[in-house]
Amino acid sequence: GTDMVDVENDTFTVHNPLTLAPVSPLPVLIAALGPVMLRLAGERADGTVLWMADERAVAEHVVPRITKAAESAGRPAPRIVAGIPVCLCSPDRVDEARERANRILGEAEISPNYQRVLEYGDARDVGDLCAAGDENAIAARFKRFADAGVTDLSVRLLPIGDNRDELVASKYRTRDMLAALAADLR
């Protein structure tokens, strides 16, 4: 509504307009990797959120199934959100970034669901999914995901370094580069 909030007591003094705009429908995204869940996501939700799915798995496994289900249900094209680790680093440190991704994020690989989605693509582990390198390498990897059918990215910052200060600095460099890239896309 468009009423006022008027409260005066020993704890609060509030005199503010209360203007609530109409709330638009909230998109519902399902973490769907397998054929049945992708069908359900296409038929009933607004899309899927992925982890451990590389570009080939997205293009050849995810997109065809979820898109067909959405079309059959008369729903709009689904959103496909790819979760990927990202590390801005010099080209000679890409292997270090991949090794760190495997060390700190690799526990997901033991999940049967993630093992199956890895089989649909070329990646063998989370390190293979990592977008690592300089700005151009990261942008190129993002483009390959977009070309595969990804509509949105969910980024996991992946800092590298030999101590806390280096890790923090790496995290902020990557974050700032991603913010600049996002601003350029607007």
Q: How far is CA 24 from CA 20, 27, 77, 132, in A?
A: 12, 9, 18, 36
Q: What residue segments make up the domains of the chain, in order of their start?
A: 23-185
59, 65, 67, 68: CA torsion to nearest 10: 130
Q: What's the CA angle centered on 55, arms 49 and 61, to 5 degrees?
A: 70
CATH number of 23-185: 3.20.20.30
Q: Specify the pLDDT at position 115.
A: 87
Q: Specify the pLDDT at position 3.
A: 77
Instruction: Specify the residue for token string 């999914």.
Output: 129
Which segments in the chain show pLDDT lower than 50? none
Q: Specify the pLDDT at position 5.
A: 81
Question: What pTM did the predictor assign?
Answer: 0.84
